[in-house]
Amino acid sequence: MASSAKHFINDPTHLVNSALRAATLTNPALALDADNKVVYRRPHAAHDAGKKVSILSGGGSGHEPSFAAMVGRGMLDAAVAGTIFASPSAEQVRVAIQARVDHHHHHGGGGGGGGVLVTVMNYTGDVLNFGMAVEKARAAGVPVEMVVVGDDVGVGREKAGKVGRRGIAGTVLVHKIAGALAARGRSLDEVARVARLAAQNLVSVGASLERVHVPGRAVAPTEDALAPGEVEIGMGIHNESGSGREKVELPALVGRMLAQMLDQGDADRAFLNVNSNEVVLLVNNLGGVSVLELGGITAEVVDQLARDWRIEPVRVLSGTYMTSLNGLGFSITLLNVVNTDIGGPSMVELLDDPAEATGWSAPVAKQTWEEKNAATREAKAGGEEQAKPSGLKTDPDEFRSKLEAGLKSVISVEPEVTRYDTIVGDGDCGIGLKRGAEGTFVA
């Protein structure tokens, strides 16, 4: 059965609508067009004086914080939401482009400023519906460009066929880079060019221990569930199948995932030669991994990148950027940082630029990364008080046997201590004492 079919809100329509409204509650600079499910930046005289390119994205719901929580100063100007895992309609997107973002449309006037960049992940429904809306807006005179992101390498060329690669968490980096460039006042042509360049230099792959359950849907038949300990490598963010399933521990799993992204010998999958001396790493929680465990996964990924691929990322981002509801999995994304060919700023500078979006979490400043501070604090040698002899004498064998007897009795009462601590506390006292006692025995 799916990872969890338990939800606090079981009505999918109410769930999506209320979550979109929450984006305006946590960021007062955002508004919601509830009829068209568009979250957009409120008009603001101080910020809207310049002719800034507007950036618009969207897709099915269920991938939060993408994309509604990525709307905000320095990132997206609007996000259009569909129902769970389903593309928004062309009409929703058209309204967003023509009425919910600033596109500085002047009849007859050329005007260098403004315009709209639409970015979308490579899923058939999204590409069709956003594409249709872009054509309609263009026909109405709106300067608009569209960039499609397909960063997933979980399915190789042969299996993906004409459809190409799916878009997953790397898309967020495209939004951050494009959003920062737009905020710097660059032209639509430049913003679109750099967004495409970022998209072409991304590789990502996910892995999941379980398929996800969509609220309001009947639980899928169990034969599709993963067995205990089994991992699906390359599972998509809508439960799509990946490259295979197997029982594998984290180090081997990460090794396989990195090879799918980096091994130039894998002809089916060598989509990108990650050859830059600057690489950005994004480790993304698919929604159901604990923060503690995501930390352990991130450490494993960074260790293997250095050991096996000689890659030391210039930026390491770890957190929840694009989910698959409560997906019990994670994805790894690498951005090969290339020259933007627009006379600066660099992709890394654009990632470092400030963004006021609740879904973008990268609070470490450029200066902090670049200082590469390696200083630590150590105990000062000889600073401690010298112990004075006490004059007590003891028989070491007798001392040891008495101590061991005491420790053994601590170990034997563990179940009883645990039982009492479960009643009055959090149930860990017995195990803590037992581990301490076991750790005291010296071979």
> Which residues carry out catalysis?
238
Rounded CA-CA distance 53/41 in Å is: 13
The closest of 315, 312, 320 to 346, measured between CA atoms, is 315
Rounded CA-CA distance 55/40 in Å is: 10
The closest of 330, 242, 234 to 282, measured between CA atoms, is 330
Residue carrying structure tokens 């956003």: 130
Peptide bond into 345 cis (omega under 30): yes
Rounded CA-CA distance 196/268 in Å is: 22
Structure tokens at 328: 């019990």
Residue carrying structure tokens 């352990």: 296
Rounded CA-CA distance 106/384 in Å is: 76
Rounded CA-CA distance 154/207 in Å is: 9
Interhelix angle for 250-262 vs 291-309, to 10°? 50
The closest of 321, 411, 314, 398 to 360, measured between CA atoms, is 321
Rounded CA-CA distance 348/57 in Å is: 22
Task: Work out the number of other CB atoms within 10 angstroms of the CB of residue 380.
Answer: 7
- The angle formed by the CA atoms of residues 149, 168 and 138, to the nearest 5 degrees, is 30
Rounded CA-CA distance 87/331 in Å is: 22
- The angle formed by the CA atoms of residues 395, 401 and 407, to the nearest 5 degrees, is 130
β-strand partners of 311:
none
Sequence-ordered list of residues with C-beta below 8 angstroms from that of 367, at least 6 positions apart, any chain: none
Rounded CA-CA distance 360/319 in Å is: 9
Sequence-ordered list of residues with C-beta below 8 angstroms from that of 188, at least 6 positions apart, any chain: 53, 114, 115, 116, 117, 143, 145
Rounded CA-CA distance 165/308 in Å is: 25
Rounded CA-CA distance 146/92 in Å is: 16
Rounded CA-CA distance 114/132 in Å is: 21
